Amino acid sequence: MSWNFKTWRQHRILTHELVPDNLWQGAVKRLRFLRGLTPDELERLRQIVTLFLHTKQISGAGGLAITEPMRVIIAAQACILILNLTLDYYDDWVEIVVYPGEFIRDYEYTDENGIVHRTREPVSGESWPAGPVILSWEDADGIGAEPGYNVVIHEFAHKLDMLNGNANGYPVLHPGMSRQTWSHAFNKAYTDFCRQVETGEETVIDPYAAENPAEFFAVLSEVFFEMPLPIKQYFPEVYEQLALFYRQDPAQRWSDL
């Protein structure tokens, strides 16, 4: 094998700067979705987290001071999505900004009649194509959240979705996956879900997922890792596509516990 600078550098970082044991164990205890991972998978995740923290800059906003445990907790959530992919999926941007709690999103959009609107709304996370991810620490701290809710996984799912343009619920699929099967599974599930939300039926996942196909993909990704069994039960075709895309089977992990 030929010598490769990137591999050599990564090896050096992992040898000398692996996330320390106490910080790593603290994050593992705190993050429910890590249960069921094998010791090998956890160690591999720790390595990806170490490299991720080397390439990303995590800064506090609104007076929030970022500590080492916070960095590891955020990174572990961001990296579960790429446990069986590669760090290259997060290559085209550097910055993560963290506010103490919800922050105000101030943006303009043009409606179908060409009228420009200006909106200000409090949000817990936001991600920009090839730009920063912005998070609320209150929502990203890994504890106290509603079951199935995970703002970090949500925003990083958008990041993966945005690798081929604007977020639209159609990320780049792996060779061997079928675009047609993906579209069929997601379109059908999304249409059914929107109808449930419109008629006021109780839903298994956050009704916010009905907002648009990009949000549907991001919310399902959260629940795929956080509460995989109901997703497999209620959205079996979508579950199968997500398992192929993330190259993970969290429902299997959970049912083995």
Residues that bind Zn ion (CB under 5 A): 215, 218
The residue with tokens 């795929």 is 224
Residue closer to Zn ion by CB (options 166, 180) is 166
Nearest approach in angstroms of CB 69 to Zn ion is 26
Tell me the residue number closest to Zn ion, measured at CB.
218
Q: How far apart are CA 220 and CA 214, in angstroms?
A: 10
Nearest approach in angstroms of CB 80 to Zn ion is 17
Q: Name the maximum alpha-carbon separation found in the chain.
A: 60
Residue closer to Zn ion by CB (options 206, 215) is 215
Nearest approach in angstroms of CB 29 to Zn ion is 27
Nearest approach in angstroms of CB 158 to Zn ion is 6
Q: How far apart are CA 233 and CA 189, in angstroms?
A: 13
Contact 173, 182 (CB under 8 A): yes
213 phi, psi to nearest 5 deg:
-60, -30
Residue closer to Zn ion by CB (options 50, 124) is 124
Contact 231, 239 (CB under 8 A): yes
Residue closer to Zn ion by CB (options 75, 134) is 134
Nearest approach in angstroms of CB 126 to Zn ion is 8
Residue closer to Zn ion by CB (options 211, 249) is 211
Nearest approach in angstroms of CB 138 to Zn ion is 17
DSSP-assigned states of every residue in 9-22: HHHHHHHHHPPPHH
Contact 84, 120 (CB under 8 A): no
Q: What is the 3-state secondary structure (H, E, C) of 43-68?
A: HHHHHHHHHHHHHCEEEECCCCCCCH
Residue closer to Zn ion by CB (options 93, 254) is 93
